[in-house]
Amino acid sequence: MSAQHLDWTCAFAARMQGRSVESSRYSARIGRIGQSFAADVKAGRLPYLTMPYRAELEKELPPILDRIRPYKHMLLLGIGGSALGARALQKAFYPAQDRPGHSGPSLWIADNIDADTLGAWMGSLEPKDTVVVVISKSGGTIETMAQYFIIRRWLKKSLGAVWKEHVILVTDTKNGELRAEAQNESLLSLPVPDNLGGRYSVLSAVGLLPAGYLGIKWRDLLEGAASTAAPLIVPESGIAKALTAHSAWSLAVWAGELIEHSYSELIFFSYIPLWNYFGAWFSQLWAESLGKEGQGSMPVPATGVTDQHSVNQMFLDGPRNKGCLFLTCDTLDKGEAFGADAPEKWNWLADKRFGDLLRAEALGTRMALHKYGVPLVNIVMQSADEYAAGKLMGLCMSATILTGLLLGINPVDQPAVELGKRLANARLGAPGLREETDSLAAFTAAGGKAEFLQEF
């Protein structure tokens, strides 16, 4: 089989033995899930799937990319879903920035509260050569807004009134502080479409603006994702048949079986080296969508072959609570051939190429995981280009949505995340958070007692 596909050979291992997607009790829910899924699509609640914003984005983005192409640097201010997708695309399709002799454009992603690094960027980057992209759907993300306030002052100090030409805001179409900032300061902006949460937003301006700046084929990413989504955009009368034939449904049913059989962790093991940051992107997608009401499974990103020499011991011989999505591509460049100059001990490598080692290691790890009873689905990519990456992202997002529906939870909200944000804001003195302020006072008072402290 030459096209990308899922290999189910090792999918129902150990205590799942004897089950299959077709025999799973979750498959019997396809009628109800199909109705809910089709209703969400029709109501516009799954824009990552239907991409109603695509035509407008393809119209708006090219002139903006032409405008910012002369800048040597892009400084992206964003966190979570506003940064993880962009970083995955950068690492996958713009590896030149991390290699010797780089002279092209550079993308710097400020995705944490790191005063040292932010200061280093302000000390090293020339404001006149830098475009700053601020990404926040709500326009109220404290980490991103705090960075923006500091960077805005840096730009104004160096550039004066023309600082505005160096800023692009990516935010809600109507509401929030960044939308108000765009209007008040006449700043260039791009929308985050309605109902498109951060973890599902990589194939909007959130991820495609930085990708396009780096010269990544962003239209191919869109096209790849659309090709995965298209079979699912059907009338309700045909959705059950469409789901039955779709890999996303199969993965959702398998994920449900994993959880039912007490496999509480899901490894995302990438053996496409440049795609290793897709693991971090997937982890947020899966965890933030499904970790609700005591349900879900913990995503664990892993990189082949690096993690064979670190955490793979735990995967193989630790608690039997792990399933695995295994990512491979058989068409990767094999690189240099081994010559006849290797020591005699290694002469069996003489007719091999360097990339053969990656393929052999992937096969060995996959077999070892299976031997130790780890249920595993191998995602086999036909290529590792942008179109293929779009297909993979579309598959992962669709499977996540369907898994949430199977578990009976809302896969597009993240209620628990908001508590930590409110507490952090209260700690800094934000108004209107009396309950959180009282909770902080009690918590910090308890933590300061001598009986709870131990020196080391």
Per-residue pLDDT of 212-241, as tens digits, reads 999 999 999 999 999 999 999 999 999 999
Own/partner pairs, 303-311, CB within 8 angstroms, 24+ separation:
303/269, 303/270, 303/273, 303/276, 303/279, 304/269, 304/270, 304/271, 304/273, 304/358, 304/361, 304/362, 304/365, 305/271, 305/358, 305/361, 305/362, 305/365, 306/276, 307/269, 308/361, 308/365
**Segment among 245-259, 309-323, 409-423 with least mean pLDDT:** 409-423
Q: What is the mean pLDDT of residues 377-400?
A: 98
For residue range 50-86, what is the model confidence (pLDDT) as tens digits?
999 999 999 999 999 999 999 999 999 999 999 999 9
Helix (H) or strand (E) holding 136: strand 130-136
For residue range 362-379, what is the model confidence (pLDDT) as tens digits?
999 999 999 999 999 999
For residue range 173-200, what is the model confidence (pLDDT) as tens digits?
999 999 999 999 999 999 999 999 999 9
Point out the catalytic residue in the list 72, 164, 334, 421. 421
Question: Which residue(s) pair with 191 in the sheet?
Answer: 171
* Structure token digits, residue 395: 């598959």
Q: Do domains 5-41+226-407 and 47-222 have the same CATH topology?
A: yes
Q: Does domain 5-41+226-407 have CATH number 3.30.70.20?
A: no
Question: What is the reported pLDDT for 80?
Answer: 95
Residue type, 70: P
Residue 1 has pLDDT above 60, yes or no: no
Q: Where are the domains of the chain?
A: 5-41+226-407, 47-222
Residue, of 233 and 416, whose pLDDT is higher = 233
For residue range 264-313, what is the model confidence (pLDDT) as tens digits?
999 999 999 999 999 999 999 999 999 999 999 999 999 999 999 999 99
Please confirm, yes or no, whether 421 is among the known catalytic residues.
Answer: yes
By C-alpha distance, which of 416, 143, 204 is closest to 289? 416
Point out the catalytic residue in the list 257, 288, 386, 436. 288
Q: What is the mean pLDDT of residues 24-45?
A: 94
- CB neighbours (10 Å) of residue 61? 18
Question: Which residue(s) pair with 324 in the sheet?
Answer: 267, 376
Task: Write the class of the CATH domain 47-222.
Answer: alpha beta
Please confirm, yes or no, whether 128 is among the known catalytic residues.
Answer: no
Residue 454 has pLDDT above 80, yes or no: no
pTM: 0.94
Q: What is the mean pLDDT of residues 412-440?
A: 81
How many CA atoms does the CB half-sphere of 404 hold within 13 Å?
A: 23
By C-alpha distance, which of 383, 409, 411, 386 is closest to 398? 411
Q: Each residue of 304-331: b (16+ CB within 10 Å) or e? A: bbebbeeebeebbeeeeebbbbbbbbee
* Mean pLDDT of the chain, nearest integer: 94
Residues 6+ apart with CB under 8 A from 167: 131, 132, 133, 134, 152, 155, 187, 188
Residue 2 has pLDDT above 70, yes or no: no
Point out the catalytic residue in the list 59, 174, 309, 345. 309
Q: Is the peptide bond before 202 cis (omega within 30 degrees of 0)?
A: no
Please confirm, yes or no, whether 288 is among the known catalytic residues.
Answer: yes
